[in-house]
Amino acid sequence: MSETRVHLSKTEPTAYQALDAFARTVGQICAANGIDDRLKELVMIHSSQLNGCAYCTRVHVDRAVAAGIDADTMMQIASWRESDVFSEREQAALELAEAFTFISEDGISDDLYNRVGAVFTEKEYAALSWACVSINAFNRVVIAGRYPVPPRTPQAQA
């Protein structure tokens, strides 16, 4: 992956700044509507993993650590259906993240909508949905631009 790509955030910074402002607004909506940082970061990590976005995965793993999510929990995100470490709310949010990430396949089915709607209020559902839209947009910008994810120095890993 040594090929240099157009770095959208540098080439057209106004659009990237608008996307960044959108993401901050989504964070505020999440906080105002009962979506804590733990739940939001689980969604961000899972969507980024599903999209194959190493850059965003790293960013949100760092934020997840700051939100108090331990390594064992993070390692089980990809296999959340087989794990007992996630609450009912977290499972519903992870399933919603999958549906938004692969929205072209099945959309948001009535079955999923009803299952998730039984766990979240309308405001919580909307906040999580906007979080999914936001991270999927960032994943696409970053993957298209092949943002580098270099190894961390030993100091940065501590």
pLDDT at 4: 73
Calpha distance 155→22 (Å, rounded): 32
Model pTM score: 0.91
pLDDT band at 3; cut points 50, 70, 90:
low
Calculate the CA 66 to chain-centre distance: 15
pLDDT band at 1; cut points 50, 70, 90:
very low
pLDDT band at 111; cut points 50, 70, 90:
very high
pLDDT at 155: 65
User: pLDDT per residue over 26-84, tens digit each?
Assistant: 999 999 999 999 999 999 999 999 999 999 999 999 999 999 999 999 999 999 999 99
Q: What is the mean pLDDT of the chain?
A: 94
User: pLDDT per residue over 118-131, tens digit each?
Assistant: 999 999 999 999 99
What contacts 118, CB < 8 A, 6 or more positions away? none
What would you report as the CA-atom Rg of the chain, rounded to the nearest whole angstrom? 16
